[in-house]
């Protein structure tokens, strides 16, 4: 019964997940000097490494364990936190801010966004793999529901990370666009369902 409820919640969240992902992609346009392309290329590089060279699971698990220990006081919620908090992406943001205080170099910025994209996709893919492996039923309702929640939360966290890098607080604008896009997607979905009747 609980599995069925989670699956229904997952179905209801699909427009929200789509809006969150599209909104985050659109939000990348705030990046200066075309760094959006570097971030996306970093994600592509991870995909190639993951498929053809190495799964990078030991690196991912090391970061997850650090997050688990840092939020040990919030156990058992710390396990969920480790899923939507991309540890290596956060480290890159901190390094980015520190280096930019001392060096104003476009090459540093480009490399930083490459690694941002690489570590972000690594977190998404390996978290999905970890959650999926922990699910026994063939139809995996917990996986669908959990990943929906993680993806939504991850887009919010990473939007804040970009604000940290750019030293511009654009998160309220991000939330406004997310709300409008989510509303649009739900209205479109309801209209399509009504047309089928």
Task: Give SS3 for 164.
Answer: helix
What is the sign, positive or negative, of the torsion defined by CA atoms of 118, 88, 158, 113? negative
Cα 171 from Cα 155, distance rounded (Å)? 11
**Six-digit token string for 51:** 């498929």
Predicted local distance difference test score (pLDDT) of residue 52: 94
Place of tokens 């498929």: 51
Quick check: 115 and 99 in contact, CB under 8 A? no
**Six-digit token string for 148:** 């929906």
Burial of 5 (C-beta count, 10 Å sphere; 0-12/13-18/19+): exposed
- Output the pTM of the full model: 0.89
Half-sphere exposure of residue 178: CA atoms within 13 angstroms, side-chain side: 18
What string of pLDDT tens digits covers the 197 residues of the chain? Answer: 778 888 899 999 999 999 999 999 988 887 776 678 888 999 999 999 999 999 899 999 999 999 999 888 887 888 888 998 999 999 998 888 888 777 766 667 788 889 999 999 999 999 999 988 877 767 788 899 999 999 999 999 999 998 888 777 889 999 999 999 999 999 999 988 888 65
Among 120, 114, 146, smallest CA distance to 133 is for 146
Quick check: 191 and 32 in contact, CB under 8 A? no
Contact residues for 135 (Cβ-Cβ < 8 A; gap 6+): 142, 143
- For helices 106-133 and 141-166, the axis angle rounded to 10 degrees is 160
- DSSP symbol at 137: S
- For helices 141-166 and 171-196, the axis angle rounded to 10 degrees is 150
Cα 27 from Cα 171, distance rounded (Å)? 10
Cα 195 from Cα 60, distance rounded (Å)? 45
Distances in Å between the Cα of 174 and the Cα atoms of 21, 153, 155, 163, 189 are 12, 13, 10, 10, 22
């Amino acid at each position: 019964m609980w599995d069925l409820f989670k699956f229904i919640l997952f179905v209801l969240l699909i427009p929200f997940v789509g809006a969150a992902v599209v909104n985050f992609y659109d939000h990348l346009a705030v990046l200066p000097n075309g760094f959006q392309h570097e971030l996306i290329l970093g994600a592509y590089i991870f995909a190639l490494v993951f498929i053809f060279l190495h799964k990078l699971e030991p690196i991912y698990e090391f970061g997850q364990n650090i997050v688990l220990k840092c939020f040990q006081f919030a156990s058992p919620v710390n396990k969920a936190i480790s899923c939507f908090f991309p540890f290596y992406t956060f480290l890159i943001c901190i390094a980015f801010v520190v280096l930019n205080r001392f060096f104003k170099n476009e090459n540093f910025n480009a490399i930083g966004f490459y690694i941002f994209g690489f570590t972000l996709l690594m977190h998404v893919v390996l978290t999905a793999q970890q959650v999926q492996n922990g699910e026994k039923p063939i139809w995996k309702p917990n996986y669908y529901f959990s990943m929906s929640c993680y993806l939504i939360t991850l887009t919010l966290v990473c939007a804040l990370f970009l604000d940290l890098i750019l030293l511009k607080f654009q998160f309220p604008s991000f939330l406004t666009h997310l709300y409008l896009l989510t509303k649009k997607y739900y209205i479109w979905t309801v209209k399509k369902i009504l047309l089928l009747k």
